[in-house]
Chain A
Amino acid sequence: MFKKILLATDGSEHSSRAIDQVLKMVAPYKDHVTLDLIYVVNGTSSKDDVLQYGDLHTAKMKRKEKFSDTLSYVEDKGVQTDLIILHGEPAPEITEYANKQAYDCVVIGSRGRNKFQTLVLGSVSHKIVKYVQVPVIVVK
């Protein structure tokens, strides 16, 4: 039974599908579950966000705002939740955080890439599956 779950999100539809899947999975024992969302800001989105919002404080607030609906959605389903925002490359940052914080399980949405794209690009989910030390669920 996974009680402390970390869900990697990029705010996309793939991640909201993953959230629904987790909520379905933990529904029978939801009172004992914490579902933390983790979002990693990489260099490119740093540049985009600062250009759009001005400075790091506004960018920070806007990012929190972006996920506030999702957080209340999860809370409304009766599951405890929190948002963790880190900076750097997504795969290593998520891996390091998950391993340090003793989560029971890491969940990640997989993007609909075709075979060629996966071969050439690799993927964040692939790296996480490889290096996170606890069970990883990749939601298709």
Chain B
Amino acid sequence: MTVATIKKEWFTNVKGDVLSGIVVALALIPEAIAFSIIAGVDPMVGLYASFSIAVVIAFVGGRPGMISGATGAMALVMITLVADYGLQYLLATTILTGLLQILFGLFRLARFMKFIPRSVMIGFVNALGILIFTSQLEHFHNESFMIYVLVGLTLAIIYLFPFISETIPSTLIAIVVVSILAITMNIDVRNVGDMGELTRSLPIFALPDIPLNLETLRIIFPYAIALTIVGLLESLLTASIVDDMTDTDSDKNKESRGQGIANVVTGFFGGMAGCAMIGQSVINVKSGGLTRLSPLVAGVVLMFLIIVLGDIVVEIPMAALAGVMIMVAIGTFDWHSITSIHKVPITDAVIMIITVLTVVITHNLAYGVLTGVLLSMIVFAVKISRVRVLGQYMDEGTRKIYYVQGQLFFASVTEFLEGIDFDDDLEEVIIDLNESHLWDDSAIGALDHIESKFKEKGTPVKYIGLNGQSKRLLQRLGGSTKNSGH
């Protein structure tokens, strides 16, 4: 890395980056605390994660100007792990997740992300929105009706304050106002302090306190895989959004590796696994953040504020955080996908909905993605396996030509063969493959089958219009599958 690139990636937009970094830090604090509570760990775990991930990514990430930290998507995957095995296993899982993500980056697998269909991605964000929303409902249990008033007030301020000023994050104003109200009026609602410990100290390096054996690996590996998928999915999606917002390209493999390094470091410093954040990244770019400096500033300011203001932060009522999370849920959900659902192909809409349902039922975003991808593959195979065969007699019924339209491969040969009439008594059969393509040995097998069937009657078969690749395949495999009993 030359001095010029360092300058370009860090110091071309110092004022904008410092200001947006501060804005993002203020918006990150409530989210990091709320996501910790979703995951079932102390608020410090999410705050350490957001600090450490933001700072590490600033140096090793592939998408300058993007904000990463503790996220809802990741927190949702961890819930059962934390509940069953505790924090130490979560830290070990975080490190393993990081290692897997580093491998993903090293093997340059980011290019495969484009094979994840759009409908699955949309299902992913919609499910994420729904889960973040439902995870807030527990804060309404066993509370007086005041919680509804406070949550309502929080949301009102969040959505209306931007009309007065867009420079200060409205979530911050909402939290400050609602906290002051709750404290001064002595409203009896739960606050952050009731949810777990918040220490005013910097994170320190420590090895996770777990037995290093296969049993541990058996416990943490499935979670690490799920976190790896979810983290990379959201990070690379966010990177693409930031690419588009800034009209610049980014290195997705470097970003995957960077996310991995950030998670490894975070695991050792007592933080939970995280990834890039769509909402925060949009806030960052909108507030003028462009380079690597803004996430660095965001992370450092966040930690500074926690150390200075830790005693005040514990007084924030959960009602205010629930309000912020409901806003995050609404912002995460892709409303456009609902308003335009009648315009997309029905299969896309169904895949999106099934992805959402799978996540909502299993509470695991990774399962939703896998189900969606698998379903899309089946739908694709069904769609592409449609073959149309049209037979026409020539020369007063002595010859017949079959026009084949579609892809010939294992899933489509049955339909293809059904279109051929073997009872015909002919002098010659011509198969026109101009609008077709042979893909595998099943396709060649089908052609051999036709040939041998007609041979029994002494009818020769001629192929016309084979494209280059199909012809090569036929030459390579044609002999071997002949008379193989297809």
Q: Which A residues contact B (CB, under 8 angstroms)? A: 41, 43-44, 46-56, 59-60, 87-89, 120-122
Contacts and interface: CB of A to CB of B under 8 A. Distances in A.
B334 A56 contact: no
Contact of B163 (A44, A47, A120): A120
A31 B247 CA distance: 34
Contacts of A88: 245
B243 A51 contact: no
B15 interface: no
B150 interface: no
A87 B245 contact: yes
Contacts of B244: 41, 46, 49-50, 55-56, 59-60, 87
A59 B337 CA distance: 16
A52 B282 contact: no
Nearest to B126: A51
Given A46-B241, A87-B244, A51 B285 contact: no
6 contacts: A47-B278, A49-B244, A51-B334, A56-B249, A59-B244, A121-B163
Nearest to B247: A87
Given A43-B285, A89-B286, A120-B163, A51 B245 contact: no
Contacts of B334: 47-48, 51
A1 to B, nearest CB: 34
Contacts of B278: 47
Contacts of B127: none
B118 interface: yes
Contacts of A52: 118, 122, 336
Interface of B: 114, 118, 121-122, 125, 163, 237, 240-241, 243-247, 249, 278, 282, 285-286, 334, 336-337
B335 to A, nearest CB: 9
Contact of A54 (B125, B240, B249, B336): B240
A121 B142 CA distance: 38
Contact of A51 (B121, B247, B249): B121
Given A41-B244, A54-B118, 5 more contacts: A44-B282, A50-B240, A51-B118, A88-B245, A89-B286
Given A43-B285, A47-B278, A55 B246 contact: no
Given A43-B282, A48-B334, A121-B163, A56 B240 contact: yes
A46 B283 CA distance: 13
B113 to A, nearest CB: 9
Contacts of A59: 244
A46 B336 contact: no
Nearest to A121: B163
Contacts of B243: 50, 55-56
B286 A47 contact: no
Among A44, A60, A89, max chain B CB count under 10 A is at A44
B242 to A, nearest CB: 8
A56 B249 CA distance: 8
A47 B247 contact: no
A58 B122 CA distance: 16
A57 to B, nearest CB: 9
Contacts of A49: 244
A50 B336 contact: no
A53 B114 CA distance: 10
Contacts of B247: 56, 87
Nearest to A122: B163
The 9 closest A-B pairs by CB, nearest first: A56-B244, A43-B282, A56-B243, A46-B244, A46-B245, A48-B336, A50-B241, A50-B240, A55-B240
Given A47-B278, A120-B163, A54 B114 contact: yes
A43 B243 CA distance: 11
Among B246, B247, B249, B286, max chain A CB count under 10 A is at B247
Among B243, B245, B285, B334, max chain A CB count under 10 A is at B245
A87 B246 CA distance: 7
B129 to A, nearest CB: 12
A53 B118 contact: yes
B114 A51 contact: no
A67 B164 CA distance: 34
Nearest to B236: A55
A122 B163 CA distance: 9
A22 to B, nearest CB: 27
A64 B247 CA distance: 14
A85 to B, nearest CB: 9
A101 to B, nearest CB: 18
B365 to A, nearest CB: 15
A52 B348 CA distance: 11
B124 to A, nearest CB: 9
Contacts of B336: 48, 51-52
Contacts of A53: 118
Given A48-B334, A48-B336, A51-B237, A43 B163 contact: no
A59 B243 CA distance: 11
A128 to B, nearest CB: 17
